[in-house]
Every structure is written in C-alpha cells, then in structure tokens.
Amino acid sequence: MNGFFDIPSDLQHSWAGLIGLHLRESLLPVAAGLLLALPLAQLCVRFRWLYPPVLGLTTVLYAVPSLAFFVVLIDYTGQTELTVMIPLAVYSLVVLIPAIVDGVRSVPQETLAAATAMGFGPVRRYLQVQLPIAAPAIMAGLRVATVSSISLVSVGALIGNQGALGNLLAAAQKYDRPELAVNAVVTMAVLAILCDALLVLLRVLLTPWMPRGAHRRAAAPREQLTPEGVTR
Amino acid sequence: MNILDFGNAFFSDSAHWHGYDGIPQRFWEHVQYSLLALAVAAAIGLPVGLLTGHTGRGGNALALIANAARALPSFGLLVLAVLSIGFGLLPVMIPLVVLAVPPILVTTYEAVRSVDPSPVDAARGMGMHESRILLQVELPVALPLILSGLRSAAIQIVSTATIAAYVSLGGLGRYIVDGLYQRDYEKVVGGATLVAVLALITLAVFWAAGRFAVSPGVRRR
C-alpha cells in the first residue's frame, strides 16, 4: 500500500483532483447525450419509420472502438477533454434513445386521451404526462449510460493524459507501480457504483407514486430487454 | 470528406491485404479473440442465468454482481491483468469476459423468468422432469431474448477486443494502436471501419441465428 495515493507529478492533479476531472469528463457527455436523445426519441415516436434507421446508425457508431474515435477526433478538436467527451456522448445515445422511446411508447392510450380531454396541448402533455410516466425507463437507461461512461473515460489516457483516473493506469506502467493501477480501477468502480446509487435515489424522488419495494425489477437495468435495440 | 479519403487510401493500398499484418490475418485474429471471449462468457452466464431464472431465486444477488462487474473499467482491468500476470492471451480475455458476462447473465435470467407460467404449469402437470421443462419449454420461449443478450455482449466484445493490440497481441486493434503511434490516420480509420464492419456482420449472424433457431410459433408473437 506504500504510495497508494502518491500520484506522480506529471499528471498535474491530486487524487481528489483526478476524481473531479473524471466525473466531469464522464457525466457531462451523458447529460449532453440526454439533451440530444430526448428530441431524437420524440421524433422516433412521432414518425415510426425513423426508429429502425436511427437505431441502426447509433449501433454502428457504438461499434466504433473508443480509441479510434478519439484518434480521428484529434484532427478536429486537438488533444483536449472535448475529444474524449464527444464519443462518450455518442455512445450514450445507443442506450438512451431506446430507453426513452420504449418509455414514452409505454404510456397507455387512455392516459393520453384523458390528458387531451383535460385540454392539455401537445407540449404540456409531453412534459407533464409522457415524460413523468416514462421516467423509470429513462432513468434505467441513464444508469447504464453513466456507468459505462465512467469506465470508458480511462481510455482517454492513450491519447496523452486525457483519461483522468485512467492516466493512473498509464503511470502505473510507466513507473512500474502496480498499486496505482489498483487505485485507478477501485476508484473508478466505486465512482460508478456511487453514481448508480444516486440515480436510483433520484428515480425514487422523481416518481413518488411508485411503490418502492415492489418496483425493484423495473428499476434493475432493463436495457437488454428491448429485443430490437442493441444496447449495453 | 477527410475521413472517407483516409479510409479509401487505406483500403486501396494493396500492401494492406497481404502478410502477417494484412487485413485478412488481422480480421481472423479479431474474430478468434471475440469468439473465445464470447464462448467463455456464455459458458459462465448461460447456465447460471438459466438455472436462477428457472428457480426464480437469487435474482437480486445476480443484479448486484452484474452491476458490480459493469462498474469495472475494461481498460483498467487489462492494465491490471498485464501488470500482475504478464503479457499473453489470458490478460486480454479477463476484461472481455468480465465485460460480456453481465448482459448475458441478466438477460438470460430475465428471459427465463418472464416466460408465461401457464405452459410451464401444463408441462409440470403432464409429468415432465424439471430439466426437460427448462430445456424444452422455457428455453425455446425465452430464446429470442437470450439471443439479444448474447448479441449485445458480442457487439461489446468485438468493439473492445481492440485493446488486445495495446498489450502487443494482434487483431484489428493493431491498426488503431499502430496508427496512433505512427501518426498514420489512414490506418486508424481503416481499423475502425473494419471493426464496425465486423460488428455489422455480428448483427447479421445473430439475426440469421434467430431466424434459424427460434421456433415459428414464438417468432410470430
């Protein structure tokens, strides 16, 4: 355990600083992905023929290895955080779009009719009826996207010190200090589990009408349950 | 279009089509790594998922394990494995299998659990043995969902198997890693395109497997 938190100075960050950097590099892309996925998913719900091609395109983009994505982007955005964050945002789409589409589609027709009968316009109906009912499905997608994003940031270390905690992995090899690699893996895993738990808490707060204990199964990551969407 | 030019230059150079660093060789290596990792992950995930799904017990423990495995960064595991075991195929297989087991396990469990209970009861009432119920009633009905879990795992493996090149093995990641260090973008774009093509082929294979293996009665629903 000697020197477990003794971070080499060329990383230019303390351990806590690396954690902050890591959270920023992994969570901002998911937020951006969500902002992008909401209108896209709404389009897919509105125009059904749009859904399969959108799903296919995101799947192909998802299959592009993150390292290749980073390297190609260096040409446009340089060796910056942005180069790491753009691919992560794109990857999050492949989880988020099916989650939102399935969630919004699962809103019963009677509920929509009731909202319309109460005089809700399309925008209000979307914001106050469809989104809240779809919230558990969307949150399940967000959980998967967040956890995978936290793990993928580390690959950024390969394009020169842009991997936050992943840089510790490179340092572990460079200075032959395996304890740094252990530190990196454990810290990232703990971060992922903590963020996951926070999102579960957020879902409970956002959907107070749901029974807490009984709803366990729907809260579990359900991304693989969509037979159409290849998701992680 | 920058990227298209790079890709075009890579694929039209005939030197990329022969020898130990040629596309056919690297492609085949990549397929081998992916198949091996998928086979190991399926050998772990399928039986456990089928049994727990059949008995309906241990679902929460499964979800917990799957979530914990998902939280482990593949790249970090790779570096850790290489530092502790040394170079070779094993340290590459560890992160790939850890990556692929959760989707297979969770989907198989959910698939078997969500099978309509009435045919299962009917089979039990007819005196079928538990193992036959699992293999002849529950498995065929759950197959589409189980295949989708395997497919999702396979796509992730294909995309992540590129890290094998980072620890000096072959595969399509060779082009990406070498291209990165040689500042040769043609190679990087070419390698990425090939991985995406392999992912599309994987999708097609699973689609065909679904057509072939899923019984028509289940498919029509």
Using an 8 Å Cβ cutoff, are B77 and B95 in contact? Answer: yes
> Into how many domains does chain B fold?
1
Q: Per-residue pLDDT tens, chain B, 221 aa: give them.
A: 577 777 777 887 777 787 778 888 999 999 999 999 999 999 999 999 999 989 888 878 888 888 788 888 888 888 888 888 888 889 999 999 999 999 899 889 989 988 888 989 999 999 999 889 998 899 999 998 899 889 989 988 998 898 888 888 888 989 988 888 888 888 888 888 899 889 889 988 998 998 888 888 777 65
CB nearest A63 (choices: B80, B179, B195):
B195
| CA separation for the pair A46, B50 (Å, rounded) | 38
Residue found by looking up tokens 């971060």 in the block = A191
How close does chain A come to B127, measured CA to CA in Å? Answer: 31
Alpha helices (H) along A106-212: 109-117, 122-125, 131-152, 166-174, 178-206
Kindly state the average pLDDT of the residues A182-196.
91
Kindly state the average pLDDT of the residues A19-47.
93
Q: Is B180 on the interface with A (CB under 8 A)?
A: yes
Residue A224 has pLDDT above 70, yes or no: no
Is B155–A152 a contact, with Cβ atoms under 8 angstroms apart?
A: no
Using an 8 Å Cβ cutoff, are A128 and A111 in contact? Answer: no
A168: CB partners within 8 A, 6+ apart: A7, A11, A18, A180, A181, A183, A184
Q: Is B8 on the interface with A (CB under 8 A)?
A: no
CB nearest B196 (choices: A63, A178, A217):
A63
Kindly state the average pLDDT of the residues A18-45.
93
Kindly state the average pLDDT of the residues A104-111.
89
The whole domain housing B102 covers: 2-13+32-219
pLDDT band at A44 (very low <50, low <70, confident <90, very high): very high
**CATH number, position B174:** 1.10.3720.10
In a domain, B19, yes or no: no
Q: What is the ipTM of this complex?
A: 0.77
Residue found by looking up tokens 């699992």 in the block = B134
Pull the structure tokens for residue B16.
């990329």
Q: Is B185 on the interface with A (CB under 8 A)?
A: yes
Provide the 10 A C-beta neighbour count for residue A23. 17
Kindly state the average pLDDT of the residues A129-146.
90
Using an 8 Å Cβ cutoff, are A94 and A230 in contact? Answer: yes
Pull the structure tokens for residue B142.
């759950």
Instruction: Give the N- to C-terminal CA distance of chain B in Å, as an integer.
Output: 44
What is the three-class DSSP state of A61?
helix
In a domain, B20, yes or no: no
Instruction: Give the N- to C-terminal CA distance of chain A in Å, as an integer.
Output: 34
From chain A, pick out residues whose CB is under 8 angstroms from the CB of B151: 230
pLDDT at A222: 42
User: Of B195, B198, B154, B206, whose CA–CA distance to B35 is shortest?
Assistant: B154
CB nearest A72 (choices: B59, B173, B185):
B185
From chain B, pick out residues whose CB is under 8 angstroms from the CB of A184: 73, 76, 79
Burial (Cβ within 10 Å: 0-12, 13-18, ≥19) of residue B168: exposed
CB nearest A147 (choices: B71, B106, B152):
B71
Residue A229 has pLDDT above 70, yes or no: no
B95: CB partners within 8 A, 6+ apart: B72, B74, B75, B77, B78, B81, B160, B163
In a domain, B177, yes or no: yes
Is A182–B80 a contact, with Cβ atoms under 8 angstroms apart?
A: yes
pLDDT at A165: 87
Is A68–B75 a contact, with Cβ atoms under 8 angstroms apart?
A: no
Is A166–B75 a contact, with Cβ atoms under 8 angstroms apart?
A: yes
Class of domain A14-225: mainly alpha
Q: Is B73 on the interface with A (CB under 8 A)?
A: yes
From chain B, pick out residues whose CB is under 8 angstroms from the CB of A64: 159, 192, 195-196
**How many Å separate Cα A189 from the centre of its chain?**
15
Using an 8 Å Cβ cutoff, are A44 and A101 in contact? Answer: yes
Mean pLDDT of all residues belonging to chain B:
87
How close does chain B come to A127, measured CA to CA in Å? Answer: 31
From chain B, pick out residues whose CB is under 8 angstroms from the CB of A224: 103, 106-107, 110, 145, 148-149, 152
**How many Å separate Cα B156 from the centre of its chain?**
6
pLDDT at B221: 53
From chain A, pick out residues whose CB is under 8 angstroms from the CB of B152: 223-224, 230-232
In a domain, B84, yes or no: yes
Residue found by looking up tokens 């990857």 in the block = A91
Q: DSSP letter for B137, please.
A: I
From chain B, pick out residues whose CB is under 8 angstroms from the CB of A166: 73, 75-76
Residue A162 has pLDDT above 90, yes or no: no
Domain boundaries, chain A: 14-225
A157: CB partners within 8 A, 6+ apart: A163, A166, A167, A169, A170, B75
| B125-161 pLDDT tens trace | 999 998 899 988 999 999 988 998 899 899 889 988 9
Q: Is B200 on the interface with A (CB under 8 A)?
A: yes
Q: Is B77 on the interface with A (CB under 8 A)?
A: yes
Residue A123 has pLDDT above 60, yes or no: yes
